[in-house]
Chain A
């Protein structure tokens, strides 16, 4: 089953002549698929993510979704926006877990120990640095941590905004494997990116925005290949 958003609207500037108007009547994201959201600068990708996450309010009506209780996790382009820099690596993860007992609220250190190791998964550097303060980490490590932290809250839809911009190759590969794993676990994944090559490698569906509107949806052909016509519209 797909995750369907309808009536996503947001405008900036005056009401009569808005400088920018985002108007997406129907956006469908499918399970078992990685959806890429692409478009030129200013086409409304980030605004769309902000409205979806609730950081920005949609100004006409309500966003409705096909599933109840959709929890959206966003890994922002600037990874520092996902983190509290003066807290430690593990404390940033504690915040994302759901404490169920008073003990978990009071002593997250003891209660969530295993969850932290599990969330950081194969990332050895971060596992060794779990007691370090985040502002001491490198840019790529912060980016990886942002991904793990958002993912630790188990969102039903995971949105990634240019998330590989600062990571080195091994981290990128690790994160891409993670994302493929999410896909096979039945989570919804939406990636905003300018990287066409990455999109062609990873995407099952590419949604193109232009001027705040949904202009095209590309899918793979039957042979699991991108057809050349679709590629032309991208490049």
Chain B
């Protein structure tokens, strides 16, 4: 039983690794404190559930979820770069708008999904969970490979450079808006992918399932940064980040196993975040200083 529960939180962690990767791109590459993920996570889930309920194949539904997340990120970047709404507020506005959009999409606050709508619908119980772990690991590995190639290509370098130093956009003669649009698009696309996987685990889409999830990605990112301080090799950066998210999910699981009430998991997340920041402060690690959102 313990092993099964462990594997359950492992699959949870793997699914949220995509979320962590998305957060990494907006918070670390673009230095953009994006709050859109609270909404785009749910958007990914809702789009997946609604599409598969009318018979769209699961893989196609996942791809469309990613696209919807991309558009949400694009929207936030437009609010920020064109109308000049500060990053925090732009993200808040977008995730607020997405709350209604998701509700409209579902038609009600939550929607159960049939087993037939899932990718491994012929399996059940433990086998289904093993299947989810396998699929999300494969998906994670290929996405990390793509992101690493992209991040080290000229396109990725441009996003990273402009995110870090805005003046470079005029020096390099590249559009700042474009870098933010693509960066936040990819970021929220990954978050939506995470949402689409998440509903395959919970068998339902709920308009409230995204509240405060951004913190999950952030904790994973910070644990990843603590595990690999040099942050030089992108493949390692992404894998340590995924491990960070999984560690976080395991901590939550262990503390629930130890008898803490299930309602307290957000309290535990906050406590973990505080401990992480305390560690960073005590160990005198300055890697957070160059993140403008701190």
Which of B161, B170, B230 contacts A95 (CB under 8 A)? B161
Query: A82 and B290: CB pair below 8 A?
Result: no
B154 within 8 A of A: yes
Which of A81, A82, A91, A104 contacts B157 (CB under 8 A)? A91
Segment from A38-46, A105-113, A171-179 that makes contact with B: A105-113
What is the interface of chain B mostly: helix, strand, loop, or mixed?
Answer: helix
CA A95 to CA B152, docked complex, whole Å: 11
Query: A105 and B155: CB pair below 8 A?
Result: yes
CA A109 to CA B154, docked complex, whole Å: 10
A64 within 8 A of B: no
Query: A85 and B164: CB pair below 8 A?
Result: yes
Mask: chain B, 211-228; 1 = CB below 8 Å from A; 0 = not: 000000000000000000
Instruction: Find residues 105-159 in chain B having any chain A CB closer than 8 Å to their own CB.
Output: 149, 152-155, 157-158
A212 within 8 A of B: no
Instruction: Find residues 146-198 in chain B having any chain A CB closer than 8 Å to their own CB.
Output: 149, 152-155, 157-158, 160-161, 164-165, 167-168, 170-172
Mask: chain A, 104-144; 1 = CB below 8 Å from B; 0 = not: 11111100000000000000000000000101000000000
The residues of B that contact A81 with a CB separation of less than 8 Å are 165, 167
A216 within 8 A of B: no
A99 within 8 A of B: yes
Mask: chain B, 251-268; 1 = CB below 8 Å from A; 0 = not: 000000000000000000
The residues of B that contact A91 with a CB separation of less than 8 Å are 152, 157
Query: B161 and A84: CB pair below 8 A?
Result: yes
The residues of B that contact A104 with a CB separation of less than 8 Å are 154
Mask: chain B, 71-90; 1 = CB below 8 Å from A; 0 = not: 00000000000000000000
Which of B155, B157, B160, B172 has the most chain A CB atoms inside 10 A of its CB?
B157
* Given A86-B290, A88-B232, A135-B290: A95 and B157 interface contact (C-beta under 8 Å): yes
Mask: chain A, 44-77; 1 = CB below 8 Å from B; 0 = not: 0000000001110000000000000000011010
The residues of A that contact B231 with a CB separation of less than 8 Å are 86, 133
The residues of A that contact B290 with a CB separation of less than 8 Å are 85-86, 135
Which of A73, A94, A95, A106 contacts B149 (CB under 8 A)? A106
Closest residue of chain A to B168 (Cβ to Cβ) is A84
Expressed in whole angstroms, the minimum distance between the Cβ of B155 and any Cβ of chain A is: 6
The residues of A that contact B152 with a CB separation of less than 8 Å are 91, 108-109
The residues of B that contact A92 with a CB separation of less than 8 Å are 161
The residues of A that contact B232 with a CB separation of less than 8 Å are 88, 133
Mask: chain A, 141-164; 1 = CB below 8 Å from B; 0 = not: 000000000100100000000000
A96 within 8 A of B: yes
Which of B149, B155, B168 has the most chain A CB atoms inside 10 A of its CB?
B168
Which of A53, A87, A106, A109 contacts B171 (CB under 8 A)? A53
CA A212 to CA B206, docked complex, whole Å: 61
Query: A86 and B164: CB pair below 8 A?
Result: yes
The residues of A that contact B172 with a CB separation of less than 8 Å are 95-96, 153
A209 within 8 A of B: no
Query: B160 and A87: CB pair below 8 A?
Result: yes
CA A80 to CA B166, docked complex, whole Å: 12
Which of A73, A84, A87, A108 has the most chain B CB atoms inside 10 A of its CB?
A84
Query: B165 and A150: CB pair below 8 A?
Result: no
Expressed in whole angstroms, the minimum distance between the Cβ of A188 and any Cβ of chain B is: 17
CA A142 to CA B149, docked complex, whole Å: 27
Query: A107 and B153: CB pair below 8 A?
Result: yes
CA A107 to CA B153, docked complex, whole Å: 6
CA A85 to CA B164, docked complex, whole Å: 8
* Given A55-B170, A73-B171, A108-B153: A95 and B158 interface contact (C-beta under 8 Å): yes
Closest residue of chain B to A92 (Cβ to Cβ) is B161
Closest residue of chain B to A99 (Cβ to Cβ) is B154
A-to-B contact residues, CB < 8 Å: 53-55, 73-74, 76, 80-88, 91-92, 94-96, 99, 104-109, 133, 135, 150, 153
What are 12 of the A-B contact pairs (CB < 8 Å)?
A53-B170, A54-B170, A55-B167, A83-B165, A86-B164, A105-B153, A106-B149, A106-B154, A107-B153, A109-B152, A133-B231, A150-B171
- 5 other contacts beyond A81-B167, A82-B171, A95-B158, with CB at 8 A cut-off? A54-B170, A85-B165, A95-B157, A108-B152, A133-B230
